[in-house]
Amino acid sequence: NAGVMQNPRHLVRRRGQEARLRCSPMKGHSHVYWYRQLPEEGLKFMVYLQKENIIDESGMPKERFSAEFPKEGPSILRIQQVVRGDSAAYFCASSPPKLAGGPPNEQFFGPGTRLTVL
Amino acid sequence: AQSVTQLGSHVSVSEGALVLLRCNYSSSVPPYLFWYVQYPNQGLQLLLKYTSAATLVKGINGFEAEFKKSETSFHLTKPSAHMSDAAEYFCAVSMGGAQKLVFGQGTRLTINP
User: What is the structure's pLDDT at A93?
Assistant: 95
Mutation pick from B89, B91, B95, B99 vs chain A, by most beta carbons of A within 10 Å, is B99
Give the residue-averaged pLDDT of A41-59: 92
pLDDT tens digit string along A56-91? 999 999 999 999 999 999 999 999 999 999 999 999
Question: Would the pLDDT of A98 be above 70?
Answer: yes
At residue B22, the pLDDT reads 97
- % of residues, chain B, pLDDT over 90: 73
pLDDT band of A96, cuts 50, 70, 90: confident
Classify strands B44-50 and B31-38 as parallel, antiparallel or unpaired.
antiparallel
Q: What is the pLDDT of residues B55-104, one digit of tens each?
A: 899 999 999 999 998 999 999 999 999 999 999 999 999 876 677 899 99
DSSP state of B62: G
Query: Is A85 within 8 Å of chain B by CB?
Result: no
Beta strand extents in chain A (DSSP E only)? 5-7, 10-13, 19-24, 31-37, 43-50, 53-56, 65-68, 75-79, 88-95, 108-109, 113-117
Residue from B34, B100, B108 to probe the interface with A (highest A Cβ count within 10 Å): B100
Average pLDDT, chain B: 91
Q: How far is CA B66 from CA A54, B55, B109, in A?
A: 34, 6, 19
* CA A100 from centroid of its chain's CA atoms: 24
B73-102 residues labelled b (16+ CB within 10 A) or e (exposed):
bbbbebeebeeebbbbbbbbbbbebbbbbb
Predicted local distance difference test score (pLDDT) of residue A101 = 72
DSSP codes, B82-113: -GGG-EEEEEEEEETT-S--EE---EEEEEE-
- B105 → closest Cβ in A42, A59, A102: A42
Whether pLDDT at A1 is above 80: no
Task: Give chain B positions within 8 Å (CB) of A55.
Answer: 99
Q: Buried b vs exposed e over A87-101: b needs ≥16 C-beta within 10 Å?
A: bbbbbbbbbeeeeee
C-alpha span between B62 and B8 (Å, rounded) = 21
Residue B97's pLDDT is 65
Partner-chain contact B43 A91, CB within 8 Å: yes
How close, in Å, is residue A65 to chain B by CA atoms?
A: 18
